[in-house]
Amino acid sequence: MNESEFQKDITLIAAASDNHALGKDNQLIWHISEDLKRFKRLTSGHAIIMGRKTFESMPKALPNRKNIILTRNSSYQASDAFVAHTIEEALKLAADDPQPFIIGGGEIYSLFLPLADTLELTRVHGQFEADAFFPEINTQDWKLVAEEKHAASQDQDFSYSYLTYKKQAQ
């Protein structure tokens, strides 16, 4: 793929544990209300690209966003969402957005990580059993530019950190 074809800030946004766990049985492992609000604030008004399983784990397409589903299933259809079968197709569907967000799951994050410019990662501090994982971040390729720590509380069982990474110039 020609990288200049897609001059935009592709952003991966995820909540993953210290052992990179994302989810189990097509569900999130934790519920962090503030993180869900942050996700909504950052992604509203943008294109969001996700895999079929991620889309099917949601009650419906996310409002105020252009929902794009990446699937190998050539006959897949979804209401209130666009369907793409290649990374290039998904990015063309997001062409009108200068900052499309990749919202999961694990396979989709791995596919888009080499193309991404920004990572918005909520690191949930703990080890969790999972069947979907966020890819390993090579610190040679990514620079941590912002970090905001949140302690566990009466309302929130887990401590977590918002981490923003930018791709290092090669």
State CA 17 to chain mean position distance.
14
- Other CB atoms within a 10 A radius of the CB of residue 77 amount to 8
CATH code of residue 74: 3.40.430.10
Peptide bond into 105 cis (omega under 30): yes
DSSP state of 44: T
Span 15-34, average pLDDT: 94
Please tell me the distance from the alpha carbon of residue 100 to that of residue 116, in angstroms, as a whole number: 10
**For 133-159, how does the pLDDT look when each residue is reduced to its tens digit (9 = 90+)?**
999 999 899 999 999 999 999 888 999
Segments forming the whole domain that contains residue 53: 3-167
Mean residue pLDDT across the chain? 93
Per-residue pLDDT band for 117 (boundaries 50, 70, 90) equals: very high
90 Ramachandran zone, left/alpha/beta (phi>0; psi -120 to 50) = alpha
At 154, list the tokens: 């009466």
The per-residue pLDDT for 7 is 58
Per-residue pLDDT band for 3 (boundaries 50, 70, 90) equals: very low
User: How many domains does the chain fold into?
Assistant: 1
pLDDT of residue 2 exceeding 80: no
